Each structure stands twice: as C-alpha cells, then as structure tokens.
Amino acid sequence: MPVCWLFSEEGLHKPIHLPHWHASYWVEDQKQQLKTKNVLVSKLLHIVNDLYPYTIQFKEDLIGEQRGVKRPREHISVDKEVSGQDTRPLTTKNNEKEKSVVPDTQTSKSDGSSGHWNQGLKVSMQDPKMQVYKDETVVVIKDKYPKARYHWLVLPWQSIPNLKALRKEHCDLVRHMDEVGKQMVCQCPDTDSLRFRMGYHAIPSMSHVHLHVISQDFDSPCLKNKKHWNSFTTDYFIESRDVLHMLESDGRVCVKDNTSELLKLPLRCHICHKEVSTIPALKEHLKSHF
C-alpha cells in the first residue's frame, strides 16, 4: 500500500511519514526543526507546493529504502464518520514562525454554525423561524437584536459582503430590496402611527449587505449605548434612495472619511434635536414624542 511522505525539496531532513486519516500539519521552529501539531478535524488544510519547499508524495513504504527514517508518533485519530474529509497537511516557509490555521468562514450547512460572529446573518437568513418574507432574489428577516418596535433586514440571496462591493450592475437588486422594504412598512399594523426609515450602515459590523427597515420609535431594550443610537440617527445611516442614486450615477457607494467618528457624537433626539446625557435619559425623553 502506498505511504504518504513529506519531502523537503532542500534536503533539510529525511522524508517524514504522514499517517493516513490523521489530521496534522508541520511547522518549523526557529531552530529549523520540524515539529508536529494536532489540528481540529473540521479544518480544511492545504499544501502550496509553488510557495513552500515541501512536497507530498505517495510511495511504497520507504522504511526498507531509507534506513534510519523514524515514523512520527501517531496523532489523534480522525472520526470514521468524517474520514473522507480532505486533511492534507499545511507547511510553512523555512525560518518562518508558526502560523495558526484559519478555518473556512463559510456557513456550515450541516450544523448551521458560523465561522465568525460577523457571519451570523448568513445563518439567520437561512433560518425559517427568522424569515418573514422571501422571493427568488431577497429574504427578509427579523433583526436578532431589534433597536425599535419594528426592525427588519432585507438581504439578497446573492453573496455581497458590504456596500463597497456594490456596483452599477446591482442597481436592479438594490431597487428591489427597497421595494420589498416598502412592502414591509405597508403591511405593518402600526404603519399609520409610526414613521419608518430604510437604509444601510456606512460601515456595517455584519458581513453580507443588508437593508435596515426600522421604525423611528426606538423603543427596544436592545438599544443600549451611544453607538447603537448614532448608527441610526446620524449620517452613518445612509438612506436607501441615496445608495441607489450613488450606484446609478457613480457606479459605487461612496463612504466619507472619518464616518466612524459619527458614532462618538453626543446623544441627541432625532425628532426635536435636544441633547441628552445618557441612554436612559434619552429613552425617557422619547416617551414625550410617542
């Protein structure tokens, strides 16, 4: 049976045996000695032969041919259920410090988990419990942490990371997102008594472009700090119609420099513009308007 071996193209060491179905990768320490590290089975590893001076080769057992070649200690076994997973080793350049292996950030279809917290929208948009409307182009979900009585997100099925990735060819998509947002407002039971705004955060914290449709009462326990407030009541919140206009005229969305500084502005009522000192004081003041 062919055996998997790690070869140094520069002859720095003898061939190293890589056990079948064992997830591991090899790194060089500062003394140029190879050390083995265990890796979680869920991580997909690659070897880049064009960049690193190592190759993977399958040959007949070299024990008889290469005297003195020691087999490394067996690593943690891979579960049989995932034994078909690609677990090829990752190697690093000579004299390079150990680097961590970054897992794929794509949403897992099997468990619904996300590679990172900012990928959460990709999970929520697939959750039927979160969906309130969907068609072939977009899906509408309830914001997991609503900042008002009514707070929805309109997301395209197409994978678009953020506003900066939008181009002129996305005009029809953005226009449709705007139309769906307006439909949500029209169907709201309190549409006659509440005002709504639709727009995008200039610098969103969550990956995957999304349109906020939010009532202007801001009556929610999830609205907790100045950043929350200013992200919806300053120019940090870009109106949907303005985004569409920029795409139609410039082919891209322009975000002004130092936009993040808007989150640090003093708290100010979005209706009468009175300045208040704290979020509790602001919420108490808002009661006079609703």
Set out the domains of the chain in order of their start, with CATH numbers: 1-97 (no CATH), 117-286 (3.30.428.10)
Q: What is the pLDDT of residue 20?
A: 64
What pLDDT is stored for residue 94 in this prediction? 39
pLDDT in 10s for each residue of the chain, 290 residues: 667 777 665 555 677 877 766 655 554 444 444 545 444 433 344 444 434 455 666 666 545 444 444 444 444 333 333 333 443 333 333 333 333 333 333 333 333 333 455 577 888 888 899 999 999 999 999 999 999 999 999 999 999 999 999 999 999 999 999 999 999 999 999 999 999 999 999 998 888 999 999 999 999 999 999 999 999 999 999 999 999 999 999 999 999 889 999 999 999 999 999 999 999 999 999 999 98
Q: What is the pLDDT of residue 268?
A: 96
- The pLDDT of residue 274: 95
Per-residue confidence (pLDDT) for residue 11, from 0 to 100? 58
The burial class, CB within 10 Å (0-12 / 13-18 / 19+), for 199 is buried
Q: Which residues are catalytic?
A: 210
**Cβ-based neighbour number of residue 23 at 10 Å:** 23
Give the count of beta carbons closer than 10 Å to the beta carbon of residue 101.
14
Q: Quote the pLDDT of residue 84.
A: 39
What DSSP string runs through 96-160? PPP-PPPPP-SPPTTT---SSGGGHHHHHTT-TTTEEEE-SSEEEEE-SS-SSSSEEEEEESS--
Chain centre distance of CA 200: 17
